[in-house]
Structure 1
């Protein structure tokens, strides 16, 4: 029987132990035992599917991955220690020296550094297209292009890419289509429905939702995930059982949390649109967003991230942050607590000013991860900080 999203998030679980527990217990063990030599041999030969060692699988990581697989409509998955380990391992497992990647230019700072600083060490090149240059995308594809990678919504500018359109291009050119779905979560959109082969999440963000643990996950086609699993099994970027246990429980409340996050974010975005201190506001479900129609087509909600530019540039942006009283100043996002970030001096601070401006990160750009506090209190804090400029 097909179950709804919320039900799968709660009722997908590992088999109960002999103690018949209602809630899945924490399996804090590095390894698992065998009844005899033959069982051990068959297990390591993968003739028998069972837990061997927690770097490979663990009941807690299995449960967490199974939930994400169902939520995203995928075939298989693997859980990682962090979001960046999920991204790096996915690329390292699937690429070889001489391969080529095409990516949207608007990506997380560490992902950009991976493309420009580390993958070139193995003779892997990356070509970028801007969010408003999708029509030029096909001209970047070469004979050795293997992966096309995007974020949508993007970090930190909250731009939207047409998942279906890019999916058709990937299918036409036989490319592996990888989507970072971190800002949306599987509750808001499922890129596989639009042609994605693999979907990546930093589970540290909205999936955890409470700023407690680190984690990452990649899900998608079984044959691709097999390569990723084998690479991860041998290189060791596995998620810990404790983090998997926390994240699996977090998924049980993902839908109700994201609904409220998005409700608060839209109200804050509308307030900022009317502020005399604000030059520009971007939120996917505002009609003023350049990709509003695309966002409405592929997203259930607008998410919890609001980006806006303060009049006055860098100095005004810093002053705004200094005057925040209730909201948190942090580089994280997706927490129950509202978080205010100045990308040009934090998450994207290692990029050159030219690189930042190329993706719309101006000196006055502020990213707000809207939390679950009462929206009146969130707006009041943002308002007083803006008026202090």
Structure 2
């Protein structure tokens, strides 16, 4: 791969048959007087040719809906890769407008994260693969022929349900035996269990012998087990000690946690569910800087202890009424020097009441009593 981009014979706009070689993987800055051809070289030649080549790679049907790019006046450009172009803009000041959004790179990155990223369980932090029943069947068929595998489906009773009702439901699904805390029990027997006990119950769906010739029967048995276990399947092998847990889908079989399949919008800072909880997707967050809010602690609140942007002390202003309401509710003086206020009062002024409701001082109130 070339280490440089060679532009030979550029004659676009005011360029006079320019030949230049630009190093790759470095920050290159074009400088010069106005009208010297900086934009003609960068946008009208380099970027235009890259876009034209990209358009030619699309199908004829797709190119009908895209404005065609004309070939720039240049003899040859070698070593050119796909490029992006960002023009200087001062119109918008939206903090959500970034290089990624302006060039659509953000969309491709989200797609990359959704398709190639690895998810981890919230409890054990193990990698969570997406497993299908077909993949699980192929995994079992890779075992030596003649291996006995017991397919179990984890089941659980819902709140305020009795064990007898759960076992009846299991029998209606065609299962005769269950494992209770690993012990094999027959549903034909009368099972006396503590209704309040936390038991691990598994329905024994089938017992299969691994053979390549019975791949279809194995897939059917796995489908039945996954349907009864709501996607969770436990495979016990002939020694009844070795076992493997699977989930047909996207989830952690060890802790029986299921997750939604990854989508591109999961990684978008414009979605409230996906944005950072601290900065809400803006990349910055506001914090209280006590030293900047109160530049002169020797003053009172009415005397200008706080910067004017923080508090409005006007009695007839709605924000000012909130401040006077705080003073009335918590019984502190607005004329007292800030350094002499109690620490709990300072915490309220800096961080708020933390959900405690106060009554706003009504207009016409005798504010002298609050002082």
Q: TM-score, normalised by structure 2?
A: 0.17
Higher helix share: 1
Greater Rg by CA: 2
- Point out which structure has higher relative CO (alpha carbons under 8 A, 6+ apart): 1
Q: TM-score, normalised by structure 1?
A: 0.16
